[in-house]
A and B are shown apart, each in its own frame.
Chain A
């Protein structure tokens, strides 16, 4: 390799790095605000969907579950508190299930929504269906238990996906509601103090 080669190779790499870097910077500057805006919009939509009766939904604070960062919110109509929304995670069969839970002011579950998961397609992903999520309406914390038989009081497991069902009901939702009760009703700063 001659000196000319070395100079040419250096020049090659420097030019490619600089040009590539400039192009990537431009694309990043262009796309990142869009990605950020979409994130915010999606979150707002998800919250609104969960608590349509609230006029304003405001963030109260953060908490952690399974070492993951989650948030909780308060829903108001005028000056009156209509309920709370808490984000929570449940340890499922093949992923942590990211869940949003809306409760009324007496901490009885109103709606839940599954934001993200990687459970088995066709089996575990039935947790997204209205049939499963609908069961949570009006359930107090004590009734957040999964049973395999027909039930009205508790949560009925999805056949073939007991682990995913449990992860949602007994892990994500139960701990989320437990956290809200501790933090808001009793004013305790108990991070996961109700964790089983």
Chain B
């Protein structure tokens, strides 16, 4: 592997985390980003589930891209996605029982994530397996990162704990664990990330 291609893989991952971050930049999949992020554990597990599904779907679609007839590519992508989501769903039900009880419904909803179908259609169906794999890792990690940050702030501010362990003996901002707080957290963090990016872009231009 030449350094040229290594670089492009790193770029693919960076692209998913920063430039095209599903939640902070594209504002997609906001429903789960509010619904399951009132504690850190659920946020991280949801992010990992999406990361896994995105990577597996990208690999599968990329492997099958010459086999799938273009006229039926979307139904086939949906079948692939729902297959992987069902596998994730059953595995989580078996091994992450406690978390699954609270977020089982949202795991099944991964089927309907626009971002996963979009990456399959726009990237994986046109690229070889390795770049598709890295694209999946990038997009999935971006989602995991966003959900972790949101749920970190929501659990800490709303319950004074992290991952279920009490950190401070107070509930500074109870509203953060309620649904309304989810909108505040997502909105404020989205603004913050865009502000950082604007500053970064300005600095690059002036130098």
Contact = CB atoms under 8 A, between A and B. Distances in A.
Interface of A: 1, 5, 8-9, 12-13, 16-17, 20, 23-24, 27-28, 31-32, 34-35, 38, 42, 116, 120-123
A136 to B, nearest CB: 24
Interface in B177-206: 177-178
Contacts of A123: 174
A17 B174 CA distance: 47
A123 B158 CA distance: 12
A16 B178 contact: no
B170 interface: no
A94 to B, nearest CB: 11
How many chain B residues sit at the interface, stated as a range, is: 20 to 34
A23 B71 contact: no
Given A28-B90, A35-B90, 5 more contacts: A12-B69, A20-B80, A24-B87, A27-B91, A122-B159
20 contacts: A8-B69, A9-B69, A12-B69, A12-B72, A12-B76, A13-B72, A16-B76, A20-B79, A20-B80, A23-B87, A28-B90, A31-B94, A32-B90, A32-B94, A34-B94, A121-B38, A121-B177, A121-B178, A122-B177, A123-B174
Contacts of A27: 86-87, 90-91
Contact of A35 (B72, B80, B94, B158): B94
Contacts of A116: 101
Interface in B55-89: 67-69, 71-72, 75-76, 79-80, 83, 86-87
Contacts of B68: 12
Chain A facing B: main interface SS = helix
Interface of B: 38, 67-69, 71-72, 75-76, 79-80, 83, 86-87, 90-91, 93-95, 97, 101, 158-159, 171, 174, 177-178
Contacts of A122: 158-159, 171, 174, 177-178
A27 B90 CA distance: 7
Given A28-B90, A122-B159, A12 B67 contact: yes
Nearest to A125: B177
A42 B69 CA distance: 48
A162 to B, nearest CB: 17
Contacts of B174: 122-123
B94 A38 contact: yes
